[in-house]
Amino acid sequence: MKHVSLLLYSCLIQYFCSQGQLDLLRNSSGLLYRLKDAQSASKVKGSDNQEKLVYQIIEDAGNKGIWSRDIRYKSNLPLTEINKILKNLESKKLIKAVKSVAASKKKVYMLYNLQPDRSVTGGVLNQQCFKFLQSKAEAARDSKQSPMVQRNSSFANSHEVWKYICELGISKVDLSMEDIETILNTLIFDGKVEMTIIAAKEGTVGSVDGQMKLYRGVNPIIQPTGLVKTPCGLCPVFDDCHEGGEIAPSNCVYMAEWLDL
């Protein structure tokens, strides 16, 4: 199609974009165009270009979703306009807002028919794991036994927590013991749970190589200092964090939540 002029190409591209039949993408070499499937194009038919752009950004984020801050960065639209578009798309049931485990105070947006990724919905699991350990600690305190017995009975192993979560049936995916221990480690970093390791007989449920990890919910006796309240004060990968690296302050979700950006 060498005989087709550049002007005609531009007119065709503009026409198909206005009809919602092309996606506009960008990479290191410049702009790219991708043909939309008919079903996706029909969903945003009648929407203006700004709404189509926001919908496309959310669609590209997949089932991990995207924050409104990142939508603003990718679309270059004012935050007030983005909030208006998001509410409109939600009312049409084209997208939905989901609370993310990475930032419990914030929501990510994804297409309405998608099942959220496990990394997004872990927030509910965090809460339930902590609730289970808290209830176990409260039961130990109410037992009126000696302080040492109360302390020992307030601990639970990861298998007990895993069994409790499975019986609740709140997870849409099958969770392993490793998944539960990852959640418990997150609670440890948040200062809500403490862990101890004890010797255990071989074959004991929840034990590995003759050792067993036990967890219990804790309440701080005094408020932590200002430095510890910052994400950096408790960050387990603090030494690996630097600008330009895979872990950096500029893309830290905990820092963004702390600063309420």
Which tens digit of pLDDT belongs to each residue from 134-183? 989 888 888 888 888 888 888 999 889 999 888 887 665 677 888 888 88
228's CB contacts (< 8 A; 6+ apart) are 234
Q: Give percent of the chain with pLDDT exceeding 70.
A: 71
For residue 47, which of 113, 12, 96, 94 has the smallest C-alpha distance?
94
Quick check: 98 and 110 in contact, CB under 8 A?
yes
User: CA-CA distance, 144 to 146, in Å (whole number)?
Assistant: 7
Rounded (5°) CA angle 153-164-175: 125
pLDDT band at 45 (very low <50, low <70, confident <90, very high): low
Query: What's the Cα-to-Cα distance from 7 to each of 23, 78, 189, rounded to whole Å?
Result: 20, 32, 58
What pLDDT is attached to residue 133? 92
What burial class does residue 225 get, using C-beta atoms within 10 Å of its C-beta: 0-12 exposed, 13-18 middle, 19+ buried?
exposed
Which stretch, 45-54, 211-220, 234-243, has highest mean pLDDT? 211-220
Q: Give me the DSSP letters along 136-193.
A: HHHHHHHT---HHHHHHHT-EEHHHHHHHHHHHT--SSPPPHHHHHHHHHHHHHTTSE
Domains and CATH numbers, the chain: 6-41 (no CATH), 44-116 (1.10.10.10), 120-217 (1.10.10.10), 226-259 (no CATH)
For residue 172, which of 121, 100, 130 has the smallest C-alpha distance?
121
Q: How many other C-beta atoms can be found within 10 angstroms of the C-beta atom of residue 187?
A: 20
Quick check: 218 and 196 in contact, CB under 8 A?
no
In the predicted model, what is the mean pLDDT of residues 121-131? 75
Q: Angle between the 177-189 and 158-168 helix axes, to the nearest 10 degrees?
A: 110
